[in-house]
Structure 1
Amino acid sequence: MRDHAAQLIGEAGIPVCTAATQVGISWPSAHQALIDRIDPVLDTRLEPVEVLGIDETRRGRPRFTRDPDTDRTVLLADRWHTGFVDLAGDQGLLGQVEGRTADDTAYWLHHAGPAWRARVQVVVIDMSTIYASAVRRMLPHARPAVDPFHVVQLATKMIGDVRRRVVREKYGRRGRSGDGEYGVKNLLLRNREHITPGQFDKIPSTLDGDTAGQQILLAWIAKEKLRDLIRLREPICGTHPTPERIRHHLHEFFTWCATYNHIPELTSLAQTIDRWRDPIITAIELGVSNAKSEGLNRVIKLEGRKAYGFRNTTNQRRRLRYATTRTSRRPPTVTTPRSPTVINEQHDPG
């Protein structure tokens, strides 16, 4: 009964209370059975990792208490967890640490061991100076890389900032239905290759009429030039990008931003890309991304909803890591060879 309850909770993701009720045992017995099942699996030694992904996910609401000696508020549980993912292998979520500061990240990397850290070659992060600081401190030999999705997301956010600013300057109010700038705002967020020729022609015809619209149009072109740089990655174009092509697209993007530096949001974007130039180039050259980390974050949030939230952070990290490594524990699929088909060439009179 205990093994069946642990199977329901660990593999099917059923809440502990529901599994205990179905099996007919108490909640503490079902949870202890789950711990007895999970801990031997998770306590195994981590295998070497070449490409490490670091990303944060929201754990839940923060929890506080009051220190009776100092009468000050003390944080019991942080609202964030930092996760470490094996991007090139099949180990999935390697572990989590509470918090998302540089010290929290360095703490987990320190306990991973010097031999394990020496095998890490590339670390993929968001455009976060906190994680970059921890990587420089604990993995000075590894090459940091920036997730391309967040680079494009930053450029897309820049377009929205430009549109809201120029609309406020032009009309003295927020944009609304009937404004030309408002009518094409969704087209500006889509990829160039995903819009029809008619939709493409609508963008310049709507925005090229005055100075306000031209600023939005220039910002949109800058976003597409940055996407041209990101799309040089081998998983997208199918060929390994050469340093000359990368430098060419970078030069085009920075030249465009410098030519129209009267747009403050465009200048700010160029400065940010320049600060993260080397990690962006590394991501393009190696074709790496944090997509697996983002996918595991979705599983983590789903498990939290199934459990109706967690109060104990230790149990939460235990449950989430077990759920995100579920596919790596499945036995490989064995393909059964089919028997050859026998064709009867004789005439069937029936």
Structure 2
Amino acid sequence: MVESTTVLFGLPGVRVVGVSREPGGTRLVELVTDEDTAAACPSCGVFSTSVKERVSTRPKDIPYGEDRILLQWNKTRWRCREEYCSRGSFTEVIEQIPRRARTTGRLRTQIGAAIGDAARSVSEVATAHGVSWPTAHRAFVEHADRLLTEPAPVRVLGIDETRRGKPRWEYCKNVERWVRVDPWDTGFVDLPGNQGLLGQKEGRTTTAVITWLKERTPEFREAIEYVAIDPAAVYAAAVRTEGLLPNATLVVDHFHLVQLANDAVTKVRRRVTWELKDRRGGKSDPEWANRRRLLTARERLSDRNFAKMWNAIVGEDPTAQILSAYIAKEELRTLLSTVKTGGDSHLTRHRLHRFLTWCIDSHIPELLTLAKTVDAWWPEIHAFVTTGITNARTEGYNRLVKTVKRAACGFRNRENSARRIRFHCTRTQRAATQTSC
């Protein structure tokens, strides 16, 4: 019976000698050491036969059934009789319960997996397993450190930023005044591979990107062939730093370019409304009522909705600036869609000329700014047209980062934040995070 109970209990290194129920109803499992090496001195390795005293400890273990159980491990303190050994005595230990441990190894593994694989908050898991927050967090750190390794070289690197918290005011001693601090983290993603989020660096500056890349090995930096970013000058400056990424080509993500075009349409619509009516738009204004249609791709609008939007705005805007901005946005989308044809050079040049000509001939300030932006970033945009590389996966990981932050109810420690976020944004952990959150 006792042997069957030991097998059922299943904790290596100990043997069950009895199970009883305490007055409060708690089950008490009495254990003794059942491991040959437990009597060996940890300093000299010699087995001892001299018993100094009997001691007992009550480590916490995984729950069984609806109620938790208590463990009482009765073990021996041995004397070391070897003259050359500096250790006078030692207590039995097993792999599942190391020296001075108050929890079993399988309990720590279960806690680490609950926090990591299921994306639960540390406080929630600590409460569920009856341990303190530091104990649960240490279990997750141990679990994460076993799985997280130094990033392997990648061919295509994605860079983007995510907000880490609310803006705050801090006193700067250099300028002797309070300054606004907008906390951001820059993330680095393996776009075509399976490594997911490779790491984060505090800030969204050129220095942050350069620092993270310099922390990697020369082989890692030399293996990068493409770097996908949004049209951010600080990231471009970092990638273009001489000697940092010798084989890298910058690629601008097309999503952000279309977003810039949509912003230009919105700015033109708002400005025209103020100029014509000396107020902001309202429900009775056709340009306001059709604001979503103006931002929708032409192929996603039915012919009926497109005609309704076009005719309503034509009759309301005699300057035709709103529809000119809409056409410019569609011309940019047409230019970017050249990627579907394999980046044909003749077609690309034709569509680029048509887009720039339309923006310049319109004499609309917002469109001129958009044209200047596209012209300034054209080498990077052309790299997208010819390669089709996007930063879409990076944006997806940004969503996961926000999910982890909500589950953790915020992070105060920067190191804990980076570890937790990277763990959940690796390829192997992403499915579990999406399912549980």
| TM-score, structure 1 normalization | 0.87
Q: Equivalent residue for 1:301? A: 402
Structure with bigger helix share is 1
How many angstroms apart in 1 are the aligned matches of 2:345 and 2:427?
39
Match of 1:240 among 318, 325, 342: 342
Cα 1:125–1:146 change in 2 (3 A) is same
Q: Is the 8 A contact 2:201 2:209 kept in 1?
A: yes
* Amino acid of the structure 1 residue aligned with 2:239: V
Gaps of 5+ in 2: 1-106, 432-437
2:240 is paired with a residue of what secondary structure? helix
How many angstroms apart in 1 are the aligned matches of 2:233 and 2:329?
23
C-alpha RMSD of the superposition: 2.4
Cα offset, 1:45, TM superposition: 3.0
Cα 1:73–1:24 change in 2 (3 A) is farther
Cα offset, 1:212, TM superposition: 4.4
How many angstroms apart in 1 are the aligned matches of 2:368 and 2:171?
46
Return 313-322 or 30-39, whichever deviates more.
Answer: 30-39
Q: Equivalent residue for 1:205? A: 311
Cα 1:212–1:133 change in 2 (3 A) is farther
Match of 1:47 among 144, 152, 162: 152
Task: Report whether the alignment pairs 1:281 with 2:382.
Answer: yes
Cα 1:120–1:328 change in 2 (3 A) is farther
* Amino acid of the structure 2 residue aligned with 1:112: R
How many angstroms apart in 1 are the aligned matches of 2:351 and 2:299?
18
Q: Equivalent residue for 1:124? A: 228
2:320 is paired with a residue of what secondary structure? helix
Q: Equivalent residue for 1:322? A: 423
How many angstroms apart in 1 are the aligned matches of 2:155 and 2:350?
29
Cα offset, 1:70, TM superposition: 8.1
Cα offset, 1:66, TM superposition: 6.2
Gaps of 5+ in 1: 331-350
1:95 is paired with a residue of what secondary structure? strand
* Amino acid of the structure 2 residue aligned with 1:298: R
Cα 1:147–1:71 change in 2 (3 A) is closer
Cα 1:27–1:154 change in 2 (3 A) is same
Instruction: Encode CA deviations 1:232-263: one digit per residue, 9 max, x unaligned.
Output: 22xxx3x4221111111111101111221x21
Cα offset, 1:61, TM superposition: 3.0
How many angstroms apart in 1 are the aligned matches of 2:323 and 2:317?
10
Cα offset, 1:328, TM superposition: 6.3
Task: Report whether the alignment pairs 1:59 with 2:160.
Answer: no
* Structure of larger gyration radius: 2
Structure with bigger strand share is 2
Instruction: Encode CA deviations 1:91-115: one digit per residue, 9 max, x unaligned.
Output: 1000000111100110001111222
Q: Equivalent residue for 2:285? A: 179
Cα 1:65–1:202 change in 2 (3 A) is closer
Q: Equivalent residue for 1:83? A: 187
How many angstroms apart in 1 are the aligned matches of 2:175 and 2:276?
53
Task: Report whether the alignment pairs 1:257 with 2:359.
Answer: yes
Q: Equivalent residue for 1:227? A: 333
Cα 1:14–1:74 change in 2 (3 A) is farther
Instruction: Encode CA deviations 1:308-340: one digit per residue, 9 max, x unaligned.
Output: 11110110000000000152699xxxxxxxxxx
* Amino acid of the structure 2 residue aligned with 1:25: V
Alignment length (residue pairs)? 324
Q: Equivalent residue for 2:212? A: 108
Match of 1:29 among 135, 139, 143: 135
How many angstroms apart in 2 are the aligned matches of 1:112 and 1:195?
47
Q: Is the 8 A contact 1:146 1:279 kept in 2?
A: yes
How many angstroms apart in 2 are the aligned matches of 1:29 and 1:206?
65
